[in-house]
Amino acid sequence: MAVNLEGVRLHRWPAPSGLKRLMTKSLARQSLVSYEIVSPPPNDPPVGERPREKRSSARRRLRLRSAKLLDSQSAFICECLVRDQSAQGLCLKLMKNVGLPARCVLYDDETGALNVVTTIWRRGSLLGVRYCPTSAPVSIKPSDRAALRGRYYAVPD
């Protein structure tokens, strides 16, 4: 069975939607079908295309990677989870929504690395930080580093 479709191409049909609906019902009573092809405006990106990232380097998602934020005197501020990482910075989820200094030290629980970071953006307990180039490496006393890992030295009498 061959079916021929006949159609008329109109760029813009000035009829209101109620009239279109009435004409569609009228065609349906005659066992005819009507359809309309809608194309997106030329300025919109295609539906399947993701918006362009503004990052200068690709990010890598991390799951359940914990870290600790310290102030400039190496005093503990807050625990956090590292959500994703790039060459320039990190996205952190703070365990407590606390105030932070502009620059702080990030202690990575997995690697034990210490990095000076600065806050770029913040949305509640979600935080974007960028690594700061420092002239002097960050150092912490062995007893403080052990305390960060959860191990405490016995204090001599």
- Hey, what domains does the chain have and what are their CATH numbers? 60-149 (2.40.10.220)
When computed from its CA atoms, the radius of gyration of the chain, rounded to whole angstroms, is 30
pTM over 0.75: no
Residues in the chain: 157
* Distances from the Cα of 106 to the Cα of 43, 61, 134, angstroms: 42, 18, 13
pLDDT at 14: 62
pLDDT at 153: 46
Q: Characterize the bridge pairing of strands 126-131 and 114-123.
A: antiparallel
b or e along 89-125 (b: 16 or more beta carbons within 10 Å of the residue's beta carbon)? bbbbebeeeeebeeebbbbbbeeeebbbbebeeeeee
What is the residue-averaged pLDDT of the chain?
76
pLDDT tens digits for range 86-140: 888 999 999 998 999 989 999 988 888 888 999 999 999 999 999 988 755 566 6
CB contact at 8 A, 85 and 62? yes
pLDDT at 81: 93
* 84 vs 39, higher pLDDT: 84
Q: Where are the alpha helices (DSSP H) in the chain?
A: 17-29, 142-149
* 9 vs 4, higher pLDDT: 4
* 45 vs 118, higher pLDDT: 118
